[in-house]
Chain A
């Protein structure tokens, strides 16, 4: 019985270890991917040229990895060092400035590069060769392997107990009535624990995800392309969403703001753009839709009293018990719109970029520095100013939002 129990224990332990490694790996792999899509994907693809070069093999192309890292962090500064490779690249892409990423840490860049290096094009699953299967398939493989191993272990245990029974019989030791495995308490307990762990994991994960709508991209009454407006035509975000610097609401622009320009611009002449489903969008027709709402006839002065409001679908929804103020972040915190809304300049139809979860808010509050020296409000934090001067507070970390109470409950919930 002793050995029996210890085998069960070993199997249980190894399964847990195995499972934890299994999930742990996925999380790590996703890091690089997430960072890539957050920071790079707007301008780079791995296998084709977009605004920037294709990134496949980027590490092989750069002679010095250190140079590559500093280029990624601050390409403008790096250009000034006169590095020939960098300057050639810059000229090749019509001197389009790359965004600066001062906040990316070396390990993070490492993760991105690792992701690029390990990236494999999605191929048809026909490949029967010994090439490593894509990520999804390996899960299946591991699953099957685990199952096979479990069956082997189970069979061996059965064999073991049968053998012991035989030897006991032989030696004349009276054995208790054998218990079939489906009534064996050890097995039942083992299966229950496994079910509980797996079920609990998915339930918790599902519960946390409730009400979160990352990548929510509803269809809007007018196909309004942010890419065309803020990307191609470089309209400032605040021109339309002026509330972002004055109010808690960034606010959707009122129709008179649209008509400021579109009273004159009645035709779309820019590059073609497509819906998510790949259909081409007729820009001029969309402007006509606006005119219908506005009750506007080209060539005549616009009479707002004839207009009817456009019912846009709200994308970013916060629960009622959360207080969020745009102007706090834009005006006082000097945070860029893109930090939370993603590369709006490259989105035709806007989708929710961040999951808007509390963890996401808190993480940012922990890492983001406030305008501690620049903003006169913080002059009252005399102790912090002193600690910064005499090095008690790490000046590279600086005074984060958390440090001035930005993660306390009643900063957002009241």
Chain B
């Protein structure tokens, strides 16, 4: 197939010299030998030192070898519980609750330690899907920064003492309970009992990321202050006005699952849903859109209005004619999909949401793609109520404040005012699990359990109950906040018995309770979406308000939530090191600017090779100072295509202190202060920001340009294939034909394996493992990346090491751009070891530490590896990782890496943190290569299970699985299918047969014979793009093709 130009970096787009240089080097720096010009003896490590070390280590080894073998103890249970077998994992159903995400999960518990979170397939809402944050949550359990005991004025006290002290402090006074949204019905009853005990008390709900706008809009439009269920799977056309529903908005795991259903393509009848996205700063969802239009944040309301007007046949107006044309195009398509369309908006502006309600009503979405029969309980905070509480506190009207989960001292836009108010509260109690910004100001602190230690329940939507049960005994002297409230309301019961009693009769007594805990969920009967009647009254005033909005300044600012860190993820090293899907940066927040603004503001012209390279190849980025209403923050600027020219974006969730975790320390800046309260809701868009360039530089750990591969035999651009739906319909065999044509010299695809090589052909009797990744449904959400971390003990290396290209991800998600630099199309490709049957890495290993198994695995044997890194150098996919330091404390000398790795990484060596390690996977030591193993420990376990039951392996036939690899299991969109290729009925075989027209192998022409195939992305566009890019890229492709042909001849 003629190739479209794909680029991962600007250097690649321009094919600059520095880019070519960096593509040659495996790691972006000199080898770690200290060399200078002073000659060998004067150099930092002279020959004498070398000899000294050799002598010492030989002597030490000799002494160590002659020592007695250490005596190891084996201590059995005294009274072994019947259901625990040491060495066999138990799975407990529980529920992940954090920042409004409520997701039913299973916790894998090995020998008493939860080590991995899986999705609960019995939940109809998430259906086994997870997110990066869910996967990472198990590490929070072992966070060394967790509070370990109750305190009064930071002094440790007993529970009895603090109960007594608090009881005295709040006796007879009205109490305000400030919490995040609470979805637990039993906890709500606990709160009611507590509030009743102290007359005049009230409960204020506050969410860090507010959905007040949509709640209030629905109250105005439908008379209900709730958020309905969205059914993206019923939509043929999805229009999002800045709602990042695949990444962070409302219920991303659920939506990703629904979204993927519409994106699954049947090759016989190619058809799929279409997604049009309007946004200001490149987001994960926008990157997945079929069509994306950029606009200024201040135009959001006007766009919604224009859309409504053109749908209802009225004259639409926008000051930008190009945008107006796009709106008109969108509305035509919306009208064509009446009853099968959905429009969502991420705006927290009540007026915008009222207009969106009107649009949805006009499109008959209610009852079709929007379901009013089940509404979300997960977001209930109304900003104005909290704002009023802050006023009350400042006025000295709040005597006692109990805080559950909320952290306004960090997340409230006017944190100083809240802090000042908190000082005036006599009795302040925090139940937060960490010494966060708010807890530091509270007098009484009773840390809560982690969710994996807790009992509980959650009602995501009415009738959909998900239970929590402890998977480990509490690690510290912590107590569930419900227990405290029960105690203080003099209810003589513990929360667990309260919970049991609460559900007792509702779910059928003891048996029902046990069943509910086993399943983790109780679901209502499925129902068809139900509608709601729109009250038109609010539209007029909303229109007026939108039209009257004040004019925006020159530069606008958007505060956004990162897919990885979100609000509270900064203390989680896995999330910090997870490259952001869009920016590919780790460990920081930054100012996102468009390429156009880069030219004017940063003086970087990306079309100029020198300047683009200076920006891209060097980690230090120019720092800009952003000022809003007198508050300033200085952050490095990253140039991200797909961002509106005069808009900048900054992520919330950063700028924490080490009190909440070492990894949060010195990572980014807090920008919650840039938000503002407009009307009843907090606005995360700033209409007028000032941005100045400073002369500072700041290093940002970007992973985008790592591991680039570019040689005469092939390069990264050939790794990807993509079509438009129109192309696919017109020429369904295009990819297959191209592959056939390319491999014709070797007898076509069928004979390529045997004819394309001088090596012998090896049989694969029994099992042959294979993987298929559907790029059409992959959203790039990175749940798989963190799942891989957790499953395979993948190390965290810390920011300084990421800067040196030493990141360890076994699975990375590559982001490719194509097309216009201002608003390019984006493709995500999860890339892990391809387990090539003719692997280039295997041939070059001098010690045969990497070799091939009869099941098609490219095996990596750590204990044999001597660290030459030849394999990494020879890997065309650049998926092999080298352990430059002892990141996870694998050797027996504790903390011997103090000078080499930073505190965050050392903290991963802590005994507590190391409890998260999977005991079935070797913890790699310094000096060895590692890479994706296809979760071989799971394969072995699955095979053993089948052998014990004396039956063939189940690999997806009738949806029965003995083996699911970690990335596959974590994926919310089921984009990854894995299994036995030799089994004619396995899911992987079916996936390859059903999608034979889209199947391709990356760099197939190298004859590495990968065992991972990809299914080409089909973008739902009516245009046949082929002609367009043929013109541009013909010359370029020829250049690449010629040396390739020459190499083949040789």
Contacts and interface: CB of A to CB of B under 8 A. Distances in A.
Contacts of A337: none
A226 to B, nearest CB: 15
A254 B85 CA distance: 11
Interface residues of B, number: 51
Contacts of B933: 410, 414
A327 B982 CA distance: 26
A182 interface: no
B78 A254 contact: yes
A239 B860 CA distance: 38
B965 to A, nearest CB: 13
A interface SS class:
loop
A405 interface: yes
B922 A375 contact: no
B85 A246 contact: yes
Contacts of B78: 254-256, 294, 304, 307-309
Interface in B44-98: 65, 69, 71-80, 85-88
A213 B70 CA distance: 11
Interface string A294-321: 1000000000110111111110010111
Contacts of B540: none
A371 B863 CA distance: 30
Given A327-B944, A376-B950, A380-B952, A310 B75 contact: yes
B979 to A, nearest CB: 13
A413 B864 CA distance: 10
Contacts of B73: 311-314
Contacts of B88: 246-248
A377 B923 CA distance: 31
Nearest to A253: B76
Given A309-B76, A377-B943, A384 B765 contact: yes
B946 to A, nearest CB: 5
Most buried by B among A311, A312, A377, A404: A377
B859 interface: yes
B1024 interface: no
Interface string A149-186: 00000000000000000000000000000000000000
Interface in B938-953: 940, 943-944, 946-953
Contact of A380 (B71, B77, B953): B953
Interface stretch (B116-124, B643-651, B848-856): B848-856
A88 interface: no
A251 B947 contact: no
B990 to A, nearest CB: 17
Contacts of A376: 949-952
Interface in A338-354: none
A219 to B, nearest CB: 10
Contacts of B74: 252, 311-314
Given A314-B73, A321-B863, A380-B767, A255 B79 contact: yes
Contact of B86 (A247, A257, A379): A247
Interface in B407-460: none
Interface string B718-754: 0000000000000000000000000000000000000
Contact of A211 (B69, B853, B949): B69
A67 interface: no
A375 B947 contact: yes
A218 interface: yes
B86 A249 contact: yes
B914 to A, nearest CB: 13
Contacts of A327: 944, 948
A221 to B, nearest CB: 10
Contact of A413 (B71, B854, B857, B922): B922
- With a 10 A CB-CB cut-off, give which of A248, A310, A312 has the most chain B CB atoms: A248
A35 to B, nearest CB: 27
B244 to A, nearest CB: 37
B34 interface: no
A317 B936 CA distance: 23
A332 interface: yes
B890 to A, nearest CB: 8
Interface string B854-870: 11010111111000000
A254 B77 contact: yes
Contacts of A320: 922-923
A130 to B, nearest CB: 42
Contact of A410 (B861, B920, B923, B982): B861
A33 B943 CA distance: 39
A334 to B, nearest CB: 11
Contacts of A384: 765
Contacts of B864: 409, 413
B861 A377 contact: no
Contacts of A305: 79
B381 to A, nearest CB: 46
Given A313-B72, A375-B947, A413-B861, A304 B85 contact: no
A9 interface: no
B944 A414 contact: no
Nearest to B70: A317
B763 interface: yes
Contact of A254 (B79, B763, B943, B951): B79
Nearest to B848: A409
Given A247-B86, A248-B87, A383-B763, A414 B950 contact: no
A248 B87 CA distance: 6
Nearest to B944: A328
A411 B410 CA distance: 50
Contact of B76 (A304, A310, A411, A414): A310
A218 B862 contact: no
Contact of B947 (A242, A243, A248, A377): A377
B117 to A, nearest CB: 21
15 contacts: A213-B69, A248-B87, A257-B80, A304-B79, A309-B76, A309-B78, A313-B71, A313-B74, A376-B949, A376-B952, A377-B946, A380-B767, A408-B853, A409-B851, A413-B922
Given A242-B85, A320-B922, 7 more contacts: A311-B73, A327-B948, A377-B943, A380-B767, A383-B765, A405-B855, A410-B859
Q: Which 6 A-B pairs have the closest CB atoms?
A: A304-B79, A247-B87, A254-B77, A254-B80, A332-B947, A410-B859
